[in-house]
Amino acid sequence: MKVKFANSKLAKNINNIQKTNDNTVSENKKLLSNVKKEQDNYKNKLKNRKVAYLTFDDGPSNHTEKILNILDENNVHATFFVNGKPELTKEYKAIVKQGSILANHTYSHDYKTVYSSPENFKKDIEKLDKFLENLTGEKPSHVIRYPGGSNNTISHSYGGPDIMKRVLPYMKKAGYKHFDWTVDSRDAEKFRQATDVIINSVLTQSKSTKNAVILMHDLNPKTTTVEALPTVIKGLKEQGFTFDVLTKDSPDASFVKMN
Ligand SMILES: [Zn+2]
């Protein structure tokens, strides 16, 4: 009888182990399915993520500090496509200190100089890279914006009708990535655009994109751009946008298709 008892105890133990195994398997299955669900949620969130990139061209200016204060108050950062202005060294440093990004809009912004040839365009870009690196100690981001945009035709007068077709691949090969814009604040259409027009232009155009690369200008006459900025940021936040700065890894925003 003792043997039988032992056997039945053994049988019970085996049974228990089997049950525990079954439970573990079903628990693992549940865990795995939860992980998959979370991954799908995350992927969807990434896909539906609305990101706004505030960009300021042609700076720095007398308004740069004011713009940085507004960004700070709203806990966001921007990308400044600057030019070479040796008299404004404080402003470049302030941009970096605030956590915003210095990007390259050529040193001279002079169409005649930069669009005379691909080599001269690169020289002007490198001149600003060096100037900024000496000033801030930061390595160049290799993020650029073409004066007039990648599809501008003003350049044709200086470098011929195919100048952009030659400059674009040349700069890409040199390791630079350019960004145009998907949202135009229209602050360049007039010497001083109406504040309302700037606010409405941004907040209307941003409704039709998840990748809002917003063109604004940091220039002395552009007082209304500064005035519009707090309302622009607030409106974008209400539309569900988060804010980021442009890096070489940011999604493309180019008027000209690049292969
Ligand atoms: Zn410009």
Ligand 1 mean position, distance from CA 105 (Å): 7
Is 209 contained in some domain?
A: yes
Residues 221 and 114 in one domain: yes
What average pLDDT does the chain have?
94
Contact 108, 131 (CB under 8 A): no
Ligand 1 mean position, distance from CA 240 (Å): 29
Residue 10's pLDDT is: 80
Ligand 1 mean position, distance from CA 177 (Å): 16
Share above pLDDT 70 across residues of the chain, in percent, rounded to a whole number: 97
Residue 246's pLDDT is: 98
Taking the CA of residue 254 as centre, how many other CA atoms within 13 Å lie in the half-sphere pointing to its CB? 17
- pLDDT of 73-120, one tens digit each? 999 999 999 999 999 999 999 999 999 999 999 999 999 999 999 999
Ligand 1 mean position, distance from CA 230 (Å): 22
Residues 12 and 102 in one domain: no
Residue 42's pLDDT is: 87
Ligand 1 mean position, distance from CA 207 (Å): 25
Per-residue pLDDT band for 12 (boundaries 50, 70, 90) equals confident
Residues 41 and 103 in one domain: no
Specify the DSSP element, H or E, that contains 98: helix 89-98
CA-closest candidate to residue 249, choices 92, 119, 128, 143: 143
Is 252 contained in some domain?
A: no
Residues 121 and 191 in one domain: yes
Residues 209 and 84 in one domain: yes
Is 109 contained in some domain?
A: yes
Host domain of residue 158: 51-243
Q: How many domains does the chain fold into? A: 2
Is 248 contained in some domain?
A: no
Assess whether pLDDT exceeds 70 at residue 3.
Answer: no
**Least confident stretch, 3-12, 42-51, 246-255:** 3-12
Residues 201 and 158 in one domain: yes
- The rounded distance, in Å, linking the Cα atoms of 76 and 242 is 9
Ligand 1 mean position, distance from CA 148 (Å): 6
- The rounded distance, in Å, linking the Cα atoms of 7 and 157 is 98
pLDDT, mean of residues 120-141: 97
Ligand 1 mean position, distance from CA 221 (Å): 14
Ligand 1 mean position, distance from CA 147 (Å): 5
Ligand 1 mean position, distance from CA 112 (Å): 14
Share above pLDDT 90 across residues of the chain, in percent, rounded to a whole number: 85
Assess whether pLDDT exceeds 70 at residue 1.
Answer: no
Assess whether pLDDT exceeds 70 at residue 194.
Answer: yes
Residues 140 and 78 in one domain: yes
* Bond from prior residue into 169 cis (ω within 30 degrees of 0): no
Ligand 1 mean position, distance from CA 39 (Å): 41
Residues 108 and 171 in one domain: yes
Residues 18 and 66 in one domain: no
Per-residue pLDDT band for 23 (boundaries 50, 70, 90) equals confident
Residue 195's pLDDT is: 98
Ligand 1 mean position, distance from CA 127 (Å): 16
Main-chain phi, psi angles of 212, to 5 degrees: -90, 100
Per-residue pLDDT band for 4 (boundaries 50, 70, 90) equals low
Residues 16 and 86 in one domain: no
Per-residue pLDDT band for 21 (boundaries 50, 70, 90) equals confident
Q: Is residue 174 classed as helix, strand or coil in its secondary structure?
A: coil
Residues 4 and 89 in one domain: no
Residues 41 and 55 in one domain: no
Residue 48's pLDDT is: 83
Is 32 contained in some domain?
A: yes
Assess whether pLDDT exceeds 70 at residue 252.
Answer: yes
183: domain CATH number? Answer: 3.20.20.370
Residue 73's pLDDT is: 98
- pLDDT of 133-180, one tens digit each? 999 999 999 999 999 999 999 999 999 999 999 999 999 999 999 999
Is 254 contained in some domain?
A: no
Ligand 1 mean position, distance from CA 56 (Å): 9
Is 145 contained in some domain?
A: yes
Residue 45's pLDDT is: 80
Is 16 contained in some domain?
A: yes
